[in-house]
């Protein structure tokens, strides 16, 4: 077997792309998930998800980097689970991430778990004004809270101290600007908002009481010297109102893309930039250009494919390696590949067009392309196309086959796992067989003691090989409909599957829709920040005092 082609990265630059993408993914993951407190507008959630397409350029069989565990998954869990935990989406992040406003409300509660507690006797005046926008003040307490949030997750961000400070300032300017806009547009503390405020205050009070403290005593000990419940209340009220206003603006952005007029805008965007949305599936093999027979071997593969062999058969025949499997690039646009710095000549070949706009190289076309060190052979499995797949949501309970064969044989362990899955399926069949009943079972088995059994949701499944083939084959069967369920054997496990729903639009349509919404949302945020900056009065001394306090806090507690 040609070891250069086994689980390899075809270009050194792809290592850098994957590394940068992982940093961005974790940055956004650490910020966005705040469902326990205030839901960010649904449009924003989907808008952030689609950003992955702009940054990722991982070959399906080539780059399988492990995701770093989500920090908030550990610290923001609620005591009572009410629905399956959604499978985490990969997201990219900016220094200002859409949906951050909602996180402000949860920060104190989150930081009670990770804050530097009872650290040093020094104290800052938290009632000082750190910055003002349109007569809306942010106290030192509010700056401290937001700064500590980013500081706590900086292992994901990787920002320097000055960048963290600027990030926090921008976040508070955004919050204050939107809060001022909300007040100018008649927003007030409604009964709904008051209920949210009361819930947050109650959470802190109950936690304090369990520690035999008042809320103020608890915040002083667990969060920051001098931090009070009244300070927290001011921050919460401002943040909720700003968030409500923000959500209204996001919904207005989404609204313009509904109906026939919205569809026309999306079609126009596709026509204007189809290379950003058309996807191709390509297999490839390569040889070290320094090898004397490299070019001849590449040409031989081309000849054999043109003679009727499959691409894999041709590779095995030419290399003499019966286990050789070609690498794959599945579901990538021209923009994806260009951003990943893949072989330029290969990209141009894959997306070469005829005069009528169709693609020159359809299924089965093959060529060789060389770079400085490798000679590539490409095979187009699926010519560039709009992804017309309609995504689906599938709930599942997974029963893994144990890998501990110390007592039982592998066959016995497999039989045991299947029997456990059948027991769960039978339990479901004794219910009303609704999505609610299946969800209850997912929750039950997620909270159980058996580490081999757990549940979740395949959300927006796209039939793209991202999940087990057996799952995708079942989920995308032509007859599949809401309420269907089945026991399916997977790779090293058994799935009890429940078909929840099908999306309204095809992948290509929603990709463009979300991209347009994201761009407008980002423009809205950037405008709000710029407007706020033009009016902001920033107290650099107070901010510097907080930043220094946190640095001393970390040094005292952790020695850095």
3-state secondary structure 148-217: HHHHHCHHHHCCCHHHHHHHHHHHHHHHHHHHHHHHHCCCCCCHHHHHHHHHHHHHHHHHHHHCCCCHHH
Confidence of residue 243 (pLDDT cuts 50, 70, 90): very high
Average pLDDT of the segment spanning 18-24: 33
3-state secondary structure 231-268: HHHHHHHHHHHHHHHHHHHHHHHHHCCCHHHHHHHHHH
Which class is domain 276-385?
alpha beta
Q: Which residue has the higher pLDDT, 214 or 55?
A: 214
- Kindly report which listed range (19-28, 221-230, 414-423) carries the lowest average pLDDT score: 19-28
Break the chain into its structural domains and give their ranges. 101-275+517-560, 276-385, 392-502
CA 409 → CA 9, 413, 423, 450, distances in Å? 37, 6, 21, 20
Query: What's the pLDDT at 26?
Result: 35
**What's the pLDDT tens digit per position in 284-295?**
999 999 999 999
Average pLDDT of the segment spanning 146-171: 88
Q: How many residues does the chain have?
A: 560
**What's the pLDDT tens digit per position in 344-401?**
888 999 999 999 888 998 888 898 888 888 999 999 998 999 999 999 999 999 999 9
Which class is domain 101-275+517-560?
mainly alpha
Distance between CA atoms of 391 and 521, rounded to whole angstroms? Answer: 24
pTM as predicted:
0.68
Average pLDDT of the segment spanning 531-542: 96
Average pLDDT of the segment spanning 404-429: 92
* Share in percent of the chain as helix, strand, coil (round to 5): 50, 15, 35
Average pLDDT of the segment spanning 101-119: 42
Phi-psi category of residue 308: left, alpha or beta, with phi > 0 → left and psi -120 to 50 → alpha: left
Distance between CA atoms of 260 and 170, rounded to whole angstroms? Answer: 38
- 46 exposure class (CB count in 10 Å sphere: 0-12, 13-18, 19+): middle
Contacts of 47 (CB under 8 A, 6+ apart): 98, 514, 515, 517, 518, 521
Asked if 276-385 and 392-502 have one fold, the answer is yes
- 279-288 and 327-332 beta bridge pairing: antiparallel
- Kindly report which listed range (45-54, 244-253, 483-492) carries the lowest average pLDDT score: 45-54
Among 232, 131, 175, 152, which Cα is nearest to 550's? 152
Which class is domain 392-502?
alpha beta
Among 10, 550, 473, which Cα is nearest to 287's? 10
Distance between CA atoms of 200 and 210, rounded to whole angstroms? Answer: 16
Does residue 8 sit in helix, strand or coil?
Answer: coil
Q: 193 pLDDT exceeds 50?
A: yes
> H-type helices in 256-333, by residue range?
259-272, 294-306, 311-319
Q: Mean pLDDT score of the chain, rounded to an integer?
A: 80
Confidence of residue 404 (pLDDT cuts 50, 70, 90): confident
Query: What's the pLDDT at 54?
Result: 34
Q: 559 pLDDT exceeds 80?
A: no
Average pLDDT of the segment spanning 228-238: 94
Query: What's the pLDDT at 304?
Result: 96
DSSP tag of 476: T
Q: Which residue has the higher pLDDT, 84 or 89?
A: 84
Query: What's the pLDDT at 557?
Result: 65
């Amino acid at each position: 077997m040609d070891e250069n082609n086994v689980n390899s990265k075809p270009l050194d630059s792809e290592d850098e792309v994957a590394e940068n993408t992982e940093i961005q993914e974790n940055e956004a993951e650490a910020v966005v998930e705040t469902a326990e407190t205030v839901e960010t507008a649904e449009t924003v959630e989907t808008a952030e998800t689609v950003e992955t397409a702009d940054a990722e350029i991982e070959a399906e069989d080539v780059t399988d980097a492990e995701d770093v565990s989500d920090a908030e998954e550990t610290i923001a869990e609620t005591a009572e689970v009410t629905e399956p935990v959604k499978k985490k989406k990969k997201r990219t992040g900016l220094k200002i991430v859409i949906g951050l406003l909602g996180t402000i409300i949860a920060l104190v509660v989150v930081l009670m778990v990770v804050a530097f507690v009872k650290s040093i006797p020094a104290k800052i005046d938290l009632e000082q004004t750190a910055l003002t926008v349109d007569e809306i003040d942010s106290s030192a307490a509010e700056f401290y809270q937001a700064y500590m949030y980013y500081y706590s997750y900086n292992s994901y961000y990787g920002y320097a101290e000055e960048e963290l400070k600027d990030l926090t300032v921008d976040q508070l300017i955004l919050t204050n600007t939107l809060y001022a806009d909300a007040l100018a547009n008649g927003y007030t503390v409604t009964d709904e908002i008051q209920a949210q405020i009361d819930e947050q205050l109650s959470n802190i009070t109950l936690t304090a009481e369990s520690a035999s403290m008042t809320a103020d005593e608890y915040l002083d000990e667990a969060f920051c010297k001098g931090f009070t419940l009244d300070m927290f209340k001011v921050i919460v009220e401002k943040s909720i109102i700003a968030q409500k206003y923000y959500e209204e603006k996001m919904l207005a952005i989404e609204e313009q893309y509904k109906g026939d007029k919205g569809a026309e805008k999306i079609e126009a965007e596709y026509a204007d930039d189809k290379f950003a949305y058309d996807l191709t599936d390509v297999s490839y093999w390569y040889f070290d250009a320094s090898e004397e027979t490299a070019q001849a071997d590449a040409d031989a593969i081309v000849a054999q494919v043109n003679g009727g062999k499959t691409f894999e058969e041709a590779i095995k025949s030419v290399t003499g390696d019966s286990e050789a499997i070609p690498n794959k690039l599945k579901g990538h646009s021209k923009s994806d590949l260009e951003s990943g710095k893949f072989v330029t000549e290969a990209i141009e070949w894959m997306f070469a067009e005829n005069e009528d706009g169709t693609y020159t190289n359809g299924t089965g076309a093959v060529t060789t392309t060389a770079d400085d060190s490798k000679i590539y052979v490409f095979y187009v499995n699926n010519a560039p196309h709009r992804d017309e797949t309609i995504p689906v949501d599938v709930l599942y309970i997974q029963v893994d086959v144990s890998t501990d064969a110390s007592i039982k044989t592998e066959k016995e362990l497999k039989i045991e796992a299947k029997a456990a899955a059948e027991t769960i399926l039978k339990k479901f069949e004794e219910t009303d067989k609704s999505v609610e009943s299946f969800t209850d079972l997912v929750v039950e088995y997620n909270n159980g003691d058996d580490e081999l059994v757990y549940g979740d949701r395949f959300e927006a499944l796209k039939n793209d090989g991202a999940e087990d083939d057996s799952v995708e084959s079942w989920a995308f069967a032509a007859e599949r409909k809401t309420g269907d369920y089945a026991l399916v054997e997977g790779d090293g496990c058994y799935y009890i599957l429940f078909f929840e729903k099908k999306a309204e639009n095809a992948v290509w349509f929603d990709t463009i829709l979300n991209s347009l919404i994201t761009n407008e949302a980002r423009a809205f945020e950037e405008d709000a920040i710029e407007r706020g900056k033009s009016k902001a009065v920033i107290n650099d001394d107070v901010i510097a005092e907080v930043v220094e306090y946190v640095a001393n806090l970390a040094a005292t507690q952790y020695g850095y």
